[in-house]
Structure 1
Amino acid sequence: MIQLLADFNPEIASVVLESAPKFCKYTSPKIQKEILSIFAMKVRKHIREEIGNAKFSILVDETCDVAKREQMALVFRFVDKYGVLQERFFDLIHVKNTKALTLKEELCSVLSKYSFDIQNLRGQGYDGASNMRGELNGLQALFLRECPYAYYVHCYAHRLQLALVAAAKDVVPVTQFFQHLVFIVNTVDSSSKRHDELHDAQMVELARLLAIDELETGQGANQIHSLKRPGETRWGSHFGSVSSLMDMFNPVSSVLQNLAADSTAGANRADGDTSFKYLTSFEFVFVLCMMREIFEITEQLGQALQKKSQDIVNALRLVQSTKVLLEQMRSDDGWETFICKVVEFCVGHGIAIPDMEGTYILRGGRARRQPDHFTNERYFRVEIFRATINTQLAELNLKFNEKVMDLLSISVTLIPKNGFVSFQANEICKLVEKYYPAYFNRQEMIGLERQLNHFVLDASSSADMTNIATLVELCRVLVETGRHRIFNLVDRLVRLLVTLPVSTAAAERAFSILKITKTRLRNKMEDEYLANNLLVHIESEIVRHYTYDDIITDFKNQKNRRADL
């Protein structure tokens, strides 16, 4: 491996293979781990200096590694001296259990070790587990006792996932649809032979569509895909699964027909026949099209919530726009547009369409209570379509109800692009005094109201401010233009709002790296060196600032200190 690296890097060839003594190549596992610990030490030092005395929030999430050991990822969210919002992965901590008190002790140990003042903590971002969000003995409650301004924000991405899951569980036809979807995907994709058949069927389908000019040719277009399996813990994966099935409906149908007609398939023949009946039923296609429409609306919100630069005020606006789009879909016009799409899809794929004015017949003697007589149109429109959207809206209202954070809703008036239509400086100051009474003294509260009025006039007439659409952009532009010195109290308020966490996506990204660094082959790595490897992956751009000679010098200093001990 060293020789291979040397072939592509002359510096390694000269320093490691040619100049270094044969007994001093720094290739033993123990020495490599020490070098990695130096990298980790420098990276953490850099992050600590970057945060300085600024207010910060912590993002925490837990997962089990390949050794079934509980690992807790710690990420800091803060605004740097340039006014740019940062989310920095800092450490991966092994915890013996997930009790709130244990987690707090481990986090406080890390904060104390690197001289973080817990009084600068202004936000906590966790998932909705009881040990994290408990109002009496949860992790957020334990921190609030020491720092009353460390407001807890339940991860918005988790809230969205919980809302979608609840909708699926509460509407029986939707729950059955996903059960059938998993069965179809398993039937088609569980065998390499059927996987190849699906590939060939897609080739035939693409050739047919190109022949009738329903597809456009181009570089990278019309590629062969595979069915995506929905995941239990990531509801966003269901959107990919639904979309892939709709895009490959004819090829999947062809594979299932061939399987059902294959006399040599044995027990799989019955699975093929059952899957084909599920796939070609109008109710399955109806829910398939409906869930894709809903997922297309909520997916935009899900992706936006996972961005590093997202601020909580803009997140609330995205949630509101998602609710509005679902309301529009639920309306009479939305229903007419949707049912036309379903009929068009059924006609294009040869699916039998029931008479909507005919009486709906309960199939299979369903256990749930239904009215004695109702039409097919009522069943699909009321019992499935509206019931699903109503559940979605109810869950979104429940999960995204920020009653405590009144300051967030009124602070959106500070965004210049909104035109300061409903701006009221005295109302903002009242809420600031309510939520941060010790952070602004009486004199500063008076000054804040004056600065807010001057800021609105300045931003309304400045070309470089009028197009700012988020608090994150506003915070950055204030520093870039030097206005943070003039409007220092406004800058302080905006930084507080931006620092509040939105989601724990940054902590979960660390778990993606964890799968790479700690595999079964490297399961014997010690926990501290696992964290070091993780830091090298995530913060490699910082590590490049340190030369090879710096690392060797630090390593020798550590060696001398050990000798003294």
Structure 2
Amino acid sequence: MNIEIDEVVLENAPKNAQYIAPEIQKEILHIMANRVRQMVREEVGDKYFCILVDEARDIPKREQMAIILRFVNNHGILTERFFAIKSVSDTTSMNLKNEISNVLVHHDLHVKKIRGQGYDDASNMRGAWNGLQALFLKDCPYAYYVHCFAHRLQLTLVSAAKDVSVIWEFFSHLDNIVNIVTSSTKCIAELHTAQRNEIEYMLSIGERDSGSGANQIGNLQRAGATRWSSHYDSVKSLIGMYTATCKVFEVLSDYSPNGRVKAEVRGIYRNMASFEFVFILHLMHKIMRTTDTICQILQRKSQDILTAITFVTITKTCLQEFRECGWNEFLQEVKVFCSRNEIDVPDLDCLYKIGRSCRQTTIEHHYHFDVFNAAIDFILMELNTRFNESSVELLSLSTALDPKNSFDSFNSDDICKLAKKFYPGDFTDQEIVALEYELIHYKLDVMQNLKVSTLVELCQQLTESGRSSVYVMLTRLIHLVLTLPVSTATTERAFSAMKHVKTALRNKMEDDFLADCSKMLNQVIVIVEGKLLHADISLSASAGSRRSC
């Protein structure tokens, strides 16, 4: 607690002042929020910044818009700060633009200083003519729009789930399994009992290691509609609890009193215990474990766009290597899993008829080329389509600043071209010449003395070593590139925090409070109107009596 406030304010305040009224508490929170915004505004100063914007509905179904500022602070550290959340009446691009501009102008943040825009792929955001990014580009031609990388990755995996039939069928069956097992407390208790028995048996035969947190009892995870990482959690949880889940289905299929439910459970269990389901379960686990790494990386606050592109390339390479060299090892892993869980493995050399066509092939050929290769190829194709940054000249020129592999991509011509072509308002002709001379010294100084691997680290090292005051033009250009957004994960975190504050109970309390206030106001109006009406009648009566006299 602040000692001055305690001694000066609280000690001298009336003892009956508790400040528990909702209006007083909201006013206090409003003052605190403005103070925080003022501190963020001071941190931004006169530097360039990027806006990250996303929308979501709160508990009472009102559309809320979160605004995040991304900038490089005085210490050379890339920073993302939550700045405001606004309730919007509609989500048209013009209305969103006006609301964002009002927030910026109110805090003396100039739109001309915007050097990046980060949104999702909704039409009102990305529209080339009337979208939000296009409207801001009219006011500031250097506020370049970058579609959220994390959202692109999610769209890639969603497309695979929708357009590859075997993957779509698999996730449909997975949803049914999770729904059945988590449908009642009895099923969950049975799942926990089966897990406990399995863990005890595995420990007794030495196939599990004991230790703190090594053998936890868990539940099957439900896949969410908008968070693709939850699909990975769902797949991972089923692989870890496959035997226990089978025990639950065996109990339900034997003792369920309802015949229709029993038939449904047996059908789902029959599919779950098939070689095809187990094969695709492990395939999706392998693919999503690879993509989950980049999913977590893209959501970091201090991630620069050059490093993000590098990790996308690494992910593509890993998937390609898995496709070309991982078949035999993967198939053996599936066979071992099937043997451990007593699942029949078909003779892979037998002929397999494909659909209604007359074409026949072996079962192994079908799973290898029609399922394994087809699923990976589709995801690689989607990744290449959605992360095709080679055609974006801004980003391709920015790679010349990338310090990875001992500044292997350094190119002074591309760096000068980047400043001249994409940021002409931030560099005069004289400053471009100064940049060229700085790069000569930079090549002999920084590239030999600083050991960094990312642009974020390079920016911080330049500031800490005092070189930012020597390479002024280059530091300015690095700040501009770092300002370009990678993902809108920070806005998602803002909405997650909002759900903790704006709960259904709090909303109901506020609605009840407003309803009570409305009732009281109506009663006051009725009473006042009644008194006025009574006064009018009395006045009319007295006037009539005077006239009769």
User: What residue is the counterpart of 1:511 in the other structure?
Assistant: 495
C-alpha separation in 2, matches of 1:275 and 1:389? 26
Which residue, 20, 43, 52 being the options, matches 1:27?
A: 20
TM-score by length of 1: 0.87
C-alpha separation in 1, matches of 2:459 and 2:409? 20
User: What residue is the counterpart of 1:429 in the other structure?
Assistant: 416
C-alpha separation in 1, matches of 2:295 and 2:200? 35
C-alpha separation in 2, matches of 1:211 and 1:122? 61
Quickly say closer, same or farther: Cα 1:20–1:453, change in 2 above 3 A: same
Quickly say closer, same or farther: Cα 1:372–1:317, change in 2 above 3 A: same
User: What residue is the counterpart of 1:485 in the other structure?
Assistant: 469
Which residue, 58, 65, 75 being the options, matches 2:58?
A: 65
Quickly say closer, same or farther: Cα 1:520–1:416, change in 2 above 3 A: closer
C-alpha separation in 2, matches of 1:19 and 1:209? 67
Is 1:494 aligned with 2:478?
A: yes
Query: How far is 1:414 from its partner?
Result: 3.0
Query: Residues 423-445 of structure 1: CA distance to partner in whole angstroms, max 9, x if unpaired?
Result: 22012212321211221111111
Would you say the 8 A contact 1:74–1:92 is kept in 2? Answer: yes
Between the two structures, name the one with larger relative contact order (CA 8 Å, sep ≥ 6): 1
C-alpha separation in 1, matches of 2:217 and 2:12? 51
C-alpha separation in 1, matches of 2:321 and 2:505? 52
Which residue, 391, 408, 418 being the options, matches 2:395?
A: 408
Is 1:351 aligned with 2:343?
A: yes
Query: Residues 24-71 of structure 1: CA distance to partner in whole angstroms, max 9, x if unpaired?
Result: 222211111111111011111111111011000000000011111100
Would you say the 8 A contact 1:281–1:351 is kept in 2? Answer: yes
Would you say the 8 A contact 1:16–1:25 is kept in 2? Answer: no
User: What residue is the counterpart of 2:193 in the other structure?
Assistant: 200
Is 1:380 aligned with 2:367?
A: yes
Would you say the 8 A contact 2:401–2:409 is kept in 1? Answer: no
Would you say the 8 A contact 1:306–1:505 is kept in 2? Answer: yes
Instruction: Give the share of equivalent positions with the same residue, in percent.
Output: 49
C-alpha separation in 1, matches of 2:103 and 2:166? 49
Quickly say closer, same or farther: Cα 1:163–1:146, change in 2 above 3 A: same
User: What residue is the counterpart of 1:537 in the other structure?
Assistant: none
Would you say the 8 A contact 1:259–1:265 is kept in 2? Answer: no
Which residue, 135, 144, 152 being the options, matches 2:128?
A: 135
AA partner of residue 372 (structure 2): F
AA partner of residue 140 (structure 2): C
C-alpha separation in 2, matches of 1:387 and 1:484? 50
C-alpha separation in 2, matches of 1:263 and 1:514? 42
User: Any residues of structure 2 matched to 1:67-146 within 5 Å, and which?
Assistant: 67-146=60-139
Where structure 2 has 5 or more consecutive residues not aligned to the other structure, the ranges are 512-549
Secondary structure in 2 matching 1:135? coil
Query: How far is 1:276 from its partner?
Result: 1.2
Quickly say closer, same or farther: Cα 1:244–1:16, change in 2 above 3 A: farther
C-alpha separation in 2, matches of 1:448 and 1:500? 21
User: What residue is the counterpart of 1:397 in the other structure?
Assistant: 384
C-alpha separation in 1, matches of 2:11 and 2:407? 67
Would you say the 8 A contact 1:59–1:77 is kept in 2? Answer: yes
Is 1:301 aligned with 2:285?
A: no
Secondary structure in 2 matching 1:459? helix
Secondary structure in 1 matching 2:326? helix
Query: How far is 1:97 from its partner?
Result: 0.8
What is the aligned residue count?
511
Query: How far is 1:413 from its partner?
Result: 3.9
Is 1:184 aligned with 2:177?
A: yes
Is 1:158 aligned with 2:151?
A: yes
Query: Residues 428-480 of structure 1: CA distance to partner in whole angstroms, max 9, x if unpaired?
Result: 21232121122111111122122123212212331xx11x1111111111111
User: What residue is the counterpart of 1:148 in the other structure?
Assistant: 141
Would you say the 8 A contact 1:187–1:275 is kept in 2? Answer: no
Quickly say closer, same or farther: Cα 1:147–1:282, change in 2 above 3 A: same
Q: Which has the larger radius of gyration?
A: 2
Is 1:439 aligned with 2:426?
A: yes
Which moves more between the two structures, 255-264 or 303-312? Answer: 255-264
Query: How far is 1:521 from its partner?
Result: 2.5
Where structure 1 has 5 or more consecutive residues not aligned to the other structure, the ranges are 1-5, 528-565
C-alpha separation in 2, matches of 1:453 and 1:13? 58
C-alpha separation in 1, matches of 2:13 and 2:456? 49
AA partner of residue 425 (structure 1): S
User: Any residues of structure 2 matched to 1:454-493 within 5 Å, and which?
Assistant: 454-462=441-449, 465-466=450-451, 468-493=452-477
User: What residue is the counterpart of 2:538 in the other structure?
Assistant: none
Quickly say closer, same or farther: Cα 1:86–1:134, change in 2 above 3 A: same
AA partner of residue 173 (structure 2): H
Query: How far is 1:412 from its partner?
Result: 3.2
Which residue, 249, 272, 287 being the options, matches 1:279?
A: 272
Which residue, 230, 237, 246 being the options, matches 1:237?
A: 230
Would you say the 8 A contact 1:60–1:73 is kept in 2? Answer: yes
Secondary structure in 2 matching 1:221? coil
Which moves more between the two structures, 131-140 or 9-18? Answer: 9-18
Secondary structure in 2 matching 1:244? helix
Would you say the 8 A contact 2:353–2:359 is kept in 1? Answer: no
C-alpha separation in 2, matches of 1:251 and 1:370? 39
Query: How far is 1:403 from its partner?
Result: 4.5
Quickly say closer, same or farther: Cα 1:421–1:263, change in 2 above 3 A: closer
Secondary structure in 2 matching 1:419? helix
C-alpha separation in 1, matches of 2:317 and 2:510? 50
User: What residue is the counterpart of 1:172 in the other structure?
Assistant: 165
Would you say the 8 A contact 1:65–1:71 is kept in 2? Answer: yes
